A and B are shown apart, each in its own frame.
Chain A
Amino acid sequence: DAGVIQSPRHEVTEMGQEVTLRCKPISGHDYLFWYRQTMMRGLELLIYFNNNVPIDDSGMPEDRFSAKMPNASFSTLKIQPSEPRDSAVYFCASSLEGRSLARAFFGQGTRLTVV
């Protein structure tokens, strides 16, 4: 299994531009999570999906952030317009509900820099 795949690995963009981060979860997993990690705030849960349906988006910082999961094998996190304070590492993770609930597998992350 290739694991959770994120793209791009690195993104540098100018303030005001739209940024789209992509994630392919592990096949068969029914939960998908988007996290943001910064030195100051650690790992923050932004949003998570179960069976492609958004369950909890209370961690999404503001309306500039949106996430979609059009099918079981793909999700996007979009920031429009981007701001320098959005600079962080964005991780996607997936898991399979069951007895070993919540063993989440993370992608390698997208390091976003907004200048």
Chain B
Amino acid sequence: RKEVEQDPGPFNVPEGATVAFNCTYSNSASQSFFWYRQDCRKEPKLLMSVYSSGNEDGRFTAQLNRASQYISLLIRDSKLSDSATYLCVVNPSEGQGGKLIFGQGTELSVKP
């Protein structure tokens, strides 16, 4: 089983749609969680951290369910510029410091 697993893509949605991505992680001791965004042929960049109580940043909402070891990202009112690959990222902790494990990524394509 992979340490971090994501929904297979691609997701093709019209502008203005709401889209949700899911992610599960295998290490129950994991402490930190993130969503990164990667544009085509570019490097990954941090989109947002994921906090236990859930958090929102504009049109983006992240949720964490520790009991189910599940992370989600919701994008409302999607824009053409949201087209990218979204990567679920976990810091497995347990003395592993800054180690980050990336999911395979889910590709999003927003169409006019």
Residues on A lying within 8 angstroms of B by beta carbon are 31, 33, 35, 42-43, 45, 48, 50, 55-56, 91, 93, 95, 97, 100-104, 106-109
Contact B32 A48 (CB under 8 A): no
Interface centre among A45, A48, A102, A103 (most CB of B within 10 A): A102
Return 28 A-B CB contacts under 8 Å, by A number.
A31-B97, A31-B98, A33-B99, A33-B100, A42-B103, A42-B104, A43-B87, A45-B100, A45-B101, A48-B98, A50-B98, A55-B99, A56-B99, A91-B44, A93-B100, A97-B98, A101-B32, A101-B91, A102-B34, A102-B98, A103-B34, A103-B49, A104-B46, A104-B98, A106-B44, A106-B45, A107-B43, A108-B42
B103 CB contacts on chain A under 8 angstroms: 42
| Inter-chain CB contacts under 8 Å: number | 57
B68 on interface, CB distance cutoff 8 Å: no
With A42-B102, A43-B102 given, name 20 new contacts (CB 8 A): A31-B98, A42-B104, A43-B87, A45-B100, A48-B98, A50-B97, A50-B98, A55-B96, A55-B99, A56-B96, A91-B44, A95-B98, A97-B97, A97-B98, A101-B32, A102-B89, A102-B98, A103-B34, A103-B46, A106-B45
